[in-house]
Amino acid sequence: MKYDVSVSFRGEDTRDNFTSHLYLALSRKNIQTFIDDQLNRGYEISESLVKAIKASAISVIIFSEDYASSRWCLDELAEILECKKLSFVLPFFYRVDPSDVRNQTGSFGDFSKLEERFEQNSEKPQTWRKGLREAAGLSGFHYRSIRPESELINEVVNHILKRLLEELFRPRDNKSQLVGVESRVEEIESLLSVESKDVYALGIWGIGGIGKTTIARATFDKISRYFEGSCFLENDENAIPGIDLNFRRLSRMKVLIVFDDVTCFSQLESIIGSLDWLMPVSRIIITTRNKQMEALEYHHALERFSRHAFKQNHPDVGYEELSSKAMKYAQGVPLALKVLGCFLYEREKEVWESAINKLQRILHPSILEVLKISYDGLDNKEKNIFLDVACFFQGEDVNLVMKFLNASGFYPKLGRSVLVDKSLIVKSNNNKITMHDLLQELGRDIVSKESNNPGNCSLFSSFNGENKCKGSYLQDPRFTEVKYLHWHGYPLKSLPSNISAKKLVFLEMPNSSIEQLWDGMKRSLCFLKYLIAALNNFGM
């Protein structure tokens, strides 16, 4: 849903009073609200309005005295009720009697002027009448001018907030339900003491993949509406410097800030040391790997595993014991449950038994070794794609990554779909290719072990961005196979002769000055700030 709420109203009746006050109150609670405030309307409701209605979790209908005299409003009402299965409809009777709306009496009874326009389409008025009857039968609010509007608006906003929070945890399908998260969120809410007037900072500790970010995000989504300002910083270390200045700006606001995946003590010190700048009743949530956190309880772990292994809440008949054995090695870690479940989905029992036997042969297998079961089930091209993403392309643009993988002969469209199905990589909303940091750790661990055996190395990387590599490293025979070369501030005037122009796919050398790429080819690249160039761009 793009919007939390859309509002249908008769502009001449309520635009400059009740509707504007309601819209302001919703906005103050960070409720994303669509309001069609166009003064000039045609005979047909606009396509953008229809899209907004379909993209709203809640539709508020404000029935006022002249609502039924507007063909636009009546058509909008019909569209809202058509979408009722997708959204919640909340009627509000502003200085009108609900029985007049239901029975089409009073100002809601005379359609004669509108009906004259529909001599050839007599069904239209019938649709309107049916819509008024249906909407008036829904539970809603009635304003009778016997108490301040502000009180009723506050009541309506709180009702909408409660409904939205219920929607947040309502299971939509087997894949999207956050198994075991709601109880954790409630626990964190209690610890945060939202009603207290002190500044609270709460830490969520745990190993990678345990679900820290998921729980922090769910908590943020649930309670952020109660704050004047809110921000979720996802493992963004660059956001920490200068934090004092940011906190000063927030000193007059009730805010909620989440710092996800804080990795070092100096960051924590900077955050905690700045709490005095915040207004009382502000809240800080910090996630980090510095301490252990409980894994999912068994019944929650079984449900999460089953959602991925069987696409339902429980194991298939005959797979109960195998599921229990497989789960034991996942140790209740949500990421491991997900990856292992995806790997075993629609596999024969023999494959399940083989995977479990492989884990049994490892004394006290780590989470990485459990995740590696899924990696081992990939073919060679899929493995190479996984390793390339883990070592080089985490968070990079999907199109760039696909171009590189295609040039490398890895058939990336098929390979990427396999990795996505197995929950090993994800395409984010901003068109970036990402993977969980625990899976990235697995990929780098695999490459590190392969590097100890040069004859079995799928990737070779010595560039750390700080010019600590010695020039002699460039003479390593494996450099003849390099496809991706990144070196921040490359110090030499040319590239080594043993790097093959035919093998190299991408060249990335920010903040470097290279007067020539290969002997006999001179080209000034001193303008480079950020460049990834394919070989054919150099005429090769």
Confidence bin at 401 (pLDDT 50/70/90) = confident
489, pLDDT greater than 50: yes
502 compared with 27, residue with greater pLDDT: 27
Per-residue pLDDT tens over the stretch 271-284: 666 666 677 778 88
Q: What is the mean pLDDT of the chain?
A: 76
Alpha-carbon span 499 to 476, nearest angstrom = 10
Q: How far is CA 426 from the centre of its chain?
A: 11
Q: Given pLDDT bands bounded at 50, 70 and 90, which one contains residue 460?
A: very low
CA 199 to chain CA centroid, nearest Å: 28
pLDDT at 19: 93
Helix (H, G, I), strand (E, B) or coil at 282: coil
Query: Which secondary-structure segment (H or E) carries 94?
Result: strand 88-94
Segment of 242-246, 401-405, 477-481 carrying the highest mean pLDDT = 401-405
Band of residue 473 on the pLDDT scale cut at 50, 70, 90: low
431: left (phi over 0), alpha (psi -120 to 50) or beta: left
* C-alpha separations of 62 from 20, 30, 148 in Å: 12, 21, 17
Q: Which of 76, 303, 382, 508 is flagged as catalytic?
A: 76
pLDDT of amino acid 455: 40
Look-up of token digits 């009496």: 105
pLDDT band (50, 70, 90) for residue 114 = low
Q: Which two tokens stand for residue 38?
A: 């166009």
Q: Report the pLDDT averaged over residues 333-362.
A: 86
Q: Which residue type occupies 387?
A: L
- 119-131 residue pLDDT tens: 555 677 888 889 9
Nearby residues of 407 by Cβ (< 8 Å), 6 or more positions away: 483, 505, 534
Exposed e or buried b per residue across 441-450, where buried means at least 16 C-beta atoms within 10 angstroms of its C-beta: bbbeebbeeb
b/e string for 460-474 if b means 16 or more Cβ within 10 A? bbebeeeeeeeeeeb
Please tell me the predicted confidence (pLDDT) of residue 515: 52
Tell me the residue type at 535: L
pLDDT at residue 20, as a whole number: 93
Burial of 185: CB neighbours in 10 Å, binned 0-12, 13-18, 19+: buried
* 181 to 36, 280, 502: CA distances (angstroms): 36, 28, 51
> What average pLDDT does range 326-346 have in this prediction?
84
Q: If you average pLDDT over residues 250-267, what whole number do you get?
A: 74
pLDDT at position 290 is 56
Mean pLDDT of 363-376: 79
Q: Give CA–CA dist 346/460, Å, rounded.
A: 35
Instruction: Decide which of 203 and 455 is more confident.
Output: 203
> Tokens 């919640």 belong to which residue?
88
Is 76 tagged catalytic? yes
Q: Which of 6-10, 21-25, 264-268, 396-400 has the lowest mean pLDDT?
A: 264-268
Across residues 477-498, what is the average pLDDT?
A: 70
Query: At CA 85, angle to CA 308 and CA 108, rounded to 5?
Result: 165
pTM over 0.95: no
In this structure, of 172-186, 292-306, 522-536, the range with the lowest mean pLDDT score is 522-536
Q: How many CA atoms lie within 13 A of 539 on its CB side?
A: 5
Rounded mean pLDDT of 450-459?
A: 49
% the chain with pLDDT above 90 = 17
pLDDT at 495: 67
The confidence band for 63, taking pLDDT boundaries of 50, 70 and 90, is: very high
Cβ 250 vs Cβ 288: under 8 Å: no
Query: Is the predicted pLDDT of residue 68 greater than 80, yes or no?
Result: yes
CA pseudo-torsion sign 320, 343, 373, 444: negative
Q: How confident is the model at residue 245 (pLDDT cuts 50, 70, 90)?
A: very low
Instruction: Using pLDDT thresholds of 50, 70 and 90, give the confidence band for residue 64.
Output: very high
Band (112; pLDDT cuts 50, 70, 90): low
In this predicted model, what pLDDT tens digit does every residue of 146-187 receive, in sequence order? 788 899 999 999 899 888 866 654 544 444 456 677 788 888
The C-alpha angle 300, 346, 359, rounded to 5 degrees, equals: 65
**Which range has highest mean pLDDT (1-5, 165-169, 318-322)?**
318-322
Asked if pLDDT for residue 456 goes beyond 50, the answer is: no
